[in-house]
Amino acid sequence: MSEVQPDGAVVSGLSVRIGEAVLVDDVTFTAPAGAITALIGPNGAGKSTLLRALVGAVPLAGQAVVTLASEELTGMSHRERARRVALVEQDGAADVARPVLDVVLLGRTPHRSRWGGDSPGDLELASEALERAGVAALAERDFATLSGGERQRVHLARALVQQPRLLLLDEPTNHLDVAAQLQVLRLTRALARSGMTVLAALHDLNHALRYADHVVVLAGGEVVATGDPRDVLTGELVGEVYQVRATRVQAAGHDLLVMD
Ligand SMILES: Nc1ncnc2c1ncn2[C@@H]1O[C@H](COP(=O)(O)OP(=O)(O)OP(=O)(O)O)[C@@H](O)[C@H]1O
């Protein structure tokens, strides 16, 4: 499905410049609600920069407008935006010497009054998120002692308790073993099916083909294609964008890309 739904995210004319360098160049696309949009493109294409720009972590150049469910995100305070948008970064903070549960509860910060502590509802959300991310057994562990894959899933749990409408994932399967990759991709699909707008930078094009409903292809900071992954991710386009030989095949009932 790739038709535009009004309650998704609409990004229009988004650019990021640092000094003379144009990292993201006048990017326009839609991420439909209730769907996973895969953001793909070679190393250095601008994927992480774009995701960070959507949470206000890097300044925008020019006249960008970003709306989510018809509300304009650009111009919102950090706190207002954080109630609506969560980002799980590729290598989130690693050296936090606090129990995992406390790290996950940080996701409630934008919803809390300035002086409020953790409510029973917050604790319930945190334990549910730890369960869904497959790391409930780690709740009492010191976050700094976790493996890369465990940390990544705890960061995902933190993003879930933020209860975002728009979930941004930067390489969510990066440090994960194959079983954990599938668990995270299936969880992501379930979140999208429950109405969330998910925008995920993915390196594995076969994950994009299998799990994404919509794809945005970025190269050199520009959008070069958007649409249904099965239409967009042809051998020809992938070959051109990544400068490889790519062929689409069918195996075990799935579309697959084989690269050499
Ligand atoms: N502070 C900076 N100053 C100049 N260039 C930068 C800066 N930060 C990032 N870049 C460059 O911007 C480009 C986009 O980087 P970005 O991390 O967004 O790419 P990406 O698509 O996420 O890459 P990857 O797949 O390798 O994670 C890269 O060429 C990077 O070197």
In the chain, the amino acid numbered 254 is H
Task: Note down pLDDT in tens along the chain; length 260 residues.
Answer: 444 446 899 999 999 999 999 999 999 999 999 999 999 999 999 999 999 999 999 989 988 899 999 899 988 999 999 999 999 998 767 677 899 999 999 999 999 877 777 888 899 999 999 999 999 999 999 999 998 889 989 999 999 999 999 999 999 998 889 998 999 999 999 999 999 999 999 999 999 999 999 999 999 999 999 999 999 999 999 999 999 999 999 998 999 999 98
The dihedral of CA 123, 84, 27, 247: what is its sign?
A: positive
What integer pLDDT is reported at residue 117 of this predicted model?
79
- Among protein residues, the one whose CA lies closest to atom 1 of ligand 1: 18
How many Cβ atoms are within 10 Å of 63's Cβ, its own excluded? 11
* ipTM associated with this complex: 0.96
Residue 188: CB within 6 Å of ligand 1?
no
CB 200 within 8 A of CB 37: yes
In the chain, the amino acid numbered 1 is M
Q: Where in the chain is the domain with CATH 3.40.50.300?
A: 1-84+164-259
- Among protein residues, the one whose CA lies closest to atom 25 of ligand 1: 43
- What gap in Å lies between CA 199 and CA 168, rounded to an integer? 5
Residue keyed to tokens 């490889």? 244
Residue 121: CB within 6 Å of ligand 1?
no
- What gap in Å lies between CA 2 and CA 66, rounded to an integer? 19
Residue 24: CB within 6 Å of ligand 1?
no
What secondary structure letter does DSSP report for 172? T
Q: How far is the CA of 166 from the centre of ligand 1 (A)?
A: 23
Residue 85 is inside which H or E element, if any?
strand 85-88
CATH of region 1-84+164-259: 3.40.50.300
What integer pLDDT is reported at residue 7 of this predicted model?
80
∠ CA 244-249-254, rounded to 5°: 120
Helix, strand, coil in percent for the chain, rounding step 5 = 35, 30, 35
- Among protein residues, the one whose CA lies closest to atom 3 of ligand 1: 18
